[in-house]
Amino acid sequence: MFAAWFAEAEQSEPNDPNAMTLATVGAGGRPSARMVLLKGWDPEGFVFYTNLESRKGCELAANGAVALLFHWKSLRRQVRIEGTAAPVSDAEADAYFATRPRLARLGAWASDQSRPLDGRGTLVARVAALEARYLLGDIPRPPHWGGYRVRPDCFEFWQDMPFRLHDRTLLTRDGDAWRAEKLYP
């Protein structure tokens, strides 16, 4: 079902059909949410990448419980996913990092994501220094940059319907199978 809905979103969404809200558990059990981009998905889960020392990276290191939310406004649909995030392998992170645009790879080195920045000029200067450092050759993946795969425990597929009589389908993992049930709107 996700494959079909995602394919439709890729055709109809004007921008970033792979954008998803990632909710993590912060200090003291407080929720923390932000937008990230889905970079891959398969039967094992949903993959995104980040600075491992960022706020989300630190929260994920402390507690892998997460929720994802895709909202495709043009289709009047959303998919909620709850599960557990675990790091992808170094080989998988290296392979994806190598596909990123050059400036994005330099930015991964230059940014102390989520930490205070004294001014944009500092970031620009860091990128310029890294451009000179890596003028020739590959830009390796920074040790503080990697990915996570979210293994889903449940999905909720929501479709807008007239008169707020929305269609909701909940899929819950039951061992190696999935149990489906309808929910009231």
- Please list the active-site residues: 164
What is d(CA 99, CA 106) in angstroms, rounded to the nearest whole number?
A: 13
Residue from 143, 134, 54 nearest 102 by CA? 134
Structure token digits, residue 45: 């889960």
* Unique residue bearing structure tokens 């940059």: 145
Structure token digits, residue 121: 């000029």
Q: What residues does 154 pair with on adjacent strands? A: 82, 172
* Contact residues for 42 (Cβ-Cβ < 8 A; gap 6+): none
Structure token digits, residue 60: 């994920």
Runs of H (alpha helix) within 21-159:
55-62, 90-99, 102-110, 120-133
